[in-house]
Amino acid sequence: MADHSHGSPESTGVVARPGQGDVQKFQNPGLPPHRPRLADRDPRAEKRAERQVAILFLVSIIGTVLFFVGYFLIPLDETIETLRLQNLTLGLGTAFAMLGIGVGIVHWAKTLMPDHEVSEDRHEIRTEADRADAEKIINDIVEETGIKRRPLIRNTLLGAMLLAPLPAVFIFRDLGPLPGDALRHTYWDAGTRLARDPSGTPIKASDVTIGSAFHVIPEGLSDSEHYLEEKAKAVVLLMRLNPDSLNPSPGREDWGYQGIVAYSKICTHVGCPVALYEQQTHHLLCPCHQSTFDLTQECKVIFGPATRPLPQLPIAVDDEGYLIATSDFQEPVGPSFWERG
């Protein structure tokens, strides 16, 4: 590897353009001789190709007919079988109609139209003469406007052009309201009963047996004006496990009730519902990006892309034995946002 060629490929001739008469290069032998096709030599083959093309066009006609058979003769009678059959017939009809034409034309082109390859010269994309002409025209135009000699006009125009698009941006301001503190509150409040999703019936503590998982919404959510928006923040997963397996941190000992705990179902990663509860391992898994939360460690992240634990909803039991929230979530639920803090 001693003597690497220096300089640009052109100047050293290492990378010569092919067929340029360089002694280091093979001469371009030119186009190979044309090989006549069967249909060029044999009139019977030609006739056969002609028939094949016609048959392909006939296939297309049959395909179109098949489409109409499917469209008119197969009724949509609310059963899946007829719909499947109709879809199949319409689809195959269209497929035959299209492929018949397409394959027919291509076969025609390949077998019966001339197959001599033709060479055409490339031309310069831009000739020097054109460039010179264009340059002169543009210079004349610029000169005639006088923009170079009149900086006042140029500068004010620039200023105007810079400002003019701003309204076009700001006019979109009313696309939506400002966030405010909307992301910090949910429908939950002290005393709100936990209810089953989607029926909305309240849940008694005694209903929640060990190993079970309830999908929970706040009671009365369906009366909310913004049902889906509130539900998107308020959904909760309620689980009961052996109280000994829970390890509440100081200050959160009374957030559960006899091993019943409630956690936000909205992933702290990008917001999918974390609803996969493994009742033996006590892990919660998000099906979208596989963040795994450990229920026995207050839903700490043990795998996957989430960083923060799922927020816990403090719960208790009211006089009638129903589960209630003792407050809203103590932190914003769902994915992080810049102002979250």
Partner 1 sequence: MSSTTTQSTYQPKTNVGKITNYVDSRVGGSGIVKEFGRKIFPDHWTFMFGEVALYSFVILLLSGTFLTFFFDPSMAETHYEGSYIPLRGVEMSEAYATALNISFDVRGGLFMRQVHHWSALLFVAAVSVHMLRVFFTGAFRRPRELNWVVGCVLLILAMAAGFTGYSLPDDLLSGNGLRIIDGVIKAVPVVGTYISFFLFGGEFPGTVVIPRLYVLHILLIPAIILLMIVIHLFMVVTHKHTQFPGPGRTNDNVVGFPVGPVYAAKAGGFFFIVFGIIAAISAAFTINPIWNYGPYDPSPVSAGTQPDWYIGWVDGALRLMPGWIAGIPLEWNIPMPWGVNTLSLNVLLPALVPAGIVFTLMFAWPWIESWLTKDKREHHLLDRPRNAPFRTAVGVSGVVFYCVMWAAASSDLIATHFFVSLNDVTYWLRVLFFVGPIIGFMVAQRIALALQRKDREIALHGRETGRIVRLPHGEFIEVHEPLDEYKRYNLVNYESHSVLPAEADVNGHVTRTEKARGRLSRFFFEDRVAPVTPAELEAAHSHGHHDAIAEQHDKAAVSK
Partner 2 sequence: MKALSQRRRHPLAAVALLLIGLLFTGGVYALASSTNEAKAQTFSADQVDEGEKLFVANCATCHGMGAVGSENGPSLVGVGAASVDFQVGTGRMPMQMQGPQAQVKPPQFDDEQTMQMAAYVASLGAGPAIPGEDMLDTSDADPANGGVVFRVNCAMCHNAAAAGGALTRGKYAPALSGSTAKHTYEAMVTGPQNMPVFSDANITPEDKRDVIAFLETIDEQGSPGGADLGSLGPVSEGLFIWVAGLGVIIAFTVWLTARSS
Residue selected from 135, 229, 254, 318 as contacting partner 1 according to rule CB under 8 A: 229
Buried b (16+ CB within 10 A) or exposed e, 237-259: bbbbbeeeebeeeeeeeebbbee
Q: Which of 70, 72, 76, 73 is nearest to 90 (CA)?
A: 70
Among positions 317-336, residues that touch partner 1 (CB under 8 A) are 334-336
Which CA distances in Å does 64 have to 71, 85, 107? 11, 16, 20
Residue selected from 287, 307, 321, 330 as contacting partner 2 according to rule CB under 8 A: 287
Cα within 13 Å of Cα(154), Cβ side: 8
Q: Which of 166, 183, 168, 170 is nearest to 229 (CA)?
A: 183
d(CA 200, CA 218): 8
Chosen from partner 2, partner 1, none, partner binding at 118 (C-beta under 5 to 8 Å by type): partner 1
d(CA 109, CA 103): 10
The minimum distance between CB 243 and partner 1, in angstroms, equals 27
Indicate the residue among 187 and 316 with the shorter CB distance to partner 1: 187
Quickly count: other Cβ atoms within 10 Å of residue 306's Cβ. Answer: 24
Residue selected from 38, 58, 61, 83 as contacting partner 1 according to rule CB under 8 A: 83
Among positions 49-88, residues that touch partner 2 (CB under 8 A) are 79-81, 83-84, 87-88
Residue selected from 9, 179, 191, 198 as contacting partner 2 according to rule CB under 8 A: 198
Residue selected from 74, 97, 194, 208 as contacting partner 2 according to rule CB under 8 A: 208
Residue selected from 30, 43, 165, 250 as contacting partner 1 according to rule CB under 8 A: 30
Among positions 251-290, residues that touch partner 1 (CB under 8 A) are 265-267, 269-273, 275-276, 287-290
38 near partner 2, rule: CB under 8 A:
yes
196 near partner 2, rule: CB under 8 A:
yes
Residue selected from 13, 271, 273, 335 as contacting partner 2 according to rule CB under 8 A: 273
Which DSSP string do the residues of 233-269 spell out, in sequence order? HH-EEEEE--GGG--PPTT-GGGSBTTEEEEE-B-SS
Indicate the residue among 249 and 253 with the shorter CB distance to partner 1: 249
Indicate the residue among 45 and 276 with the shorter CB distance to partner 1: 276
Contact letters for partner 1, residues 96-125 (x by CB under 8 A) = xxxxxxxxxxx-xxx--xxx-xxxxxx--x
Q: Which of 12, 10, 28 is nearest to 20 (CA)?
A: 28
Indicate the residue among 301 and 316 with the shorter CB distance to partner 1: 301
CA 322 vs. chain centroid, Å, equals 42
Helix (H, G, I), strand (E, B) or coil at 137: helix
Cα within 13 Å of Cα(182), Cβ side: 9
Among positions 164-183, residues that touch partner 1 (CB under 8 A) are 172, 175-179, 182-183
Which amino acid does the sequence have at 139?
A: N
Interface residues toward partner 2, by CB under 8 A:
35, 37-39, 79-81, 83-84, 87-88, 91, 106, 110-111, 115, 196-198, 203-204, 206-215, 239, 273, 275-281, 283, 285, 287, 290, 292, 303
